[in-house]
Chain A
Amino acid sequence: MNHFLRILFVLLLARPLVRLWFGVTVRHQERLPLKGPAIVLANHNSHLDILALYSLFPLTLISNVQPAAAADYFLKNRLFAWFATEVVGIIPVIRGGITAGSDPLSGCKEALSQGRILILFPEGTRGEPEMLSEIKLGIWYLYRDFPEIPVVPVYLNGLGRAMGKGQWFPIPFFVDIAIGRPLPWLSEKTLFRTSIKDALLHLKQKTILSTPGQQ
């Protein structure tokens, strides 16, 4: 990963787009982990999600933050793969679970043992805007190996509308981001999965403007 290109990317593209074109409100910015190793878990509706998450971190720390992303999608052609790995700084993950002889999460584990902050989209793919898809179990396996690190849920509201799956131009909408408290480790897979979903849905409520009925 090229640190200089990464900082330029965040400074010239991610931040202006997220802060000026959209305009974000962040709830509980102080809960965002600034020191690794840590995992940031976010819902996923748009390619802009990663830009929005990058724009939350100070520029000086940005090269310590890396997102896990689907290898089959981002390594499709050489130019795109160069951009995704060198500039955006993704850690490629092969989707579809463990196959013989290779651990799809090895890149993520390496990043965490190097003290990086890992961004994970536990739904695995961009779903319908503002609908939470099923949580994949990769995060459970990762957390099992690093039980002492904080896993912080983040909900992003509005980016799926701005540029969802299949759309290639970002339309301005106000974006609301809510950051939650670190999730406790649960050894029971389904319970852990449910706790992630509950945490994200709880944060989703906070990103929606209060209605008269809810006051």
Chain B
Amino acid sequence: MKYLEEFQNPELARRLLDDIRATVTRPWALMEVCGGQTHTIIRHGIDQLLPDEVELIHGPGCPVCVTPLEVIDKALEIASRPEVLFCSFGDMLRVPGTDRDLFRVRAEGGDVRVVYSPLDALRLAQQNPGREVVFFGIGFETTAPPNAMTVYQAKKLGIRNFSMLVSHVRVPPAIEAIMRSPDCRVQGFLAAGHVCSVMGVGEYPELAERHRVPIVVTGFEPLDILEGVRRAVRQLECGAHTVENAYPRAVRPEGNPAAQAMLADVFEVTDRAWRGIGVIPDSGWRLSERYREFDAEQRFAVGGIQTREPAACRAGEVLQGLLKPHECEAFGTTCTPRTPLGATMVSSEGACAAYYLYRRLDLPQVRIAAPAGVEASSVV
């Protein structure tokens, strides 16, 4: 596909890696904020290709991973109601609540549907006027505008049987919280490119300056990740801490003003709990007063549900780069992808699931078995 394959080119990747190797002189810890970037890193084995000095810490940018347990429990409660048709992005279905997940609700007779777009949920509401259609509105600044547009459309079209369980989160307050943590090891950030496609880069210079940390707006293909790392390392090696845009094909400094205006109309900033991390001030969005009638939490009176997170799960420390997944007592014993304690073990982008997958793999052995550069055709 155009604009994807070109940014996976192995020869250009080699050039970027050579440049990183030639630049780096000592250890640096970088955090890629976004789960999509973590996915690319794991999917292409990028972490193994980087010089040992560069450590990538998988950040809290996976909406599935950070949606608080309490909100999941509210979703499960709503989805269990006979009158409700509950719509969600696919990633949320396996995320465990206190005692079950959305898959389980579906198996018990709940009408839970996977949709590609929130507009699909709105369409279902139009097609099923006798049902209450609820959409699980999670995600960062990238996903918030589509969800905001859907609520706006529902109001404009007067679709009364539609509502949204909103648990949106924002990146800059999370970066702030990570940097304020006393044990913080992160020395540079690869900022989430698609968040910046919407929001622009205006929120980041202040963060970079206050915490004296380089922030590189980074895309999602392998070459984009390597370029983000390359620029962050270059800055660190010379003691710089600026904001750079390494993803200019999709990120303009001002972002998308139309989307920002819609966000300002439909949502308002609120404190938000992050699973495993706790409440981060001003880190989320909820429906604004003008759209409160579409708030599923109020419509189904689940506001009273309060859940404590299991003490055994240390996902919050993992998400902040304070703990490696395998250093957790529960890792691989009481906590596995089949029986996850926290969402970092559920999502394929989750740091714990990635570690679990790789724990049995002795990488040096693989290198002996199939040296780099040996194409399969040569084994015949």
Chains A and B bind each other: no
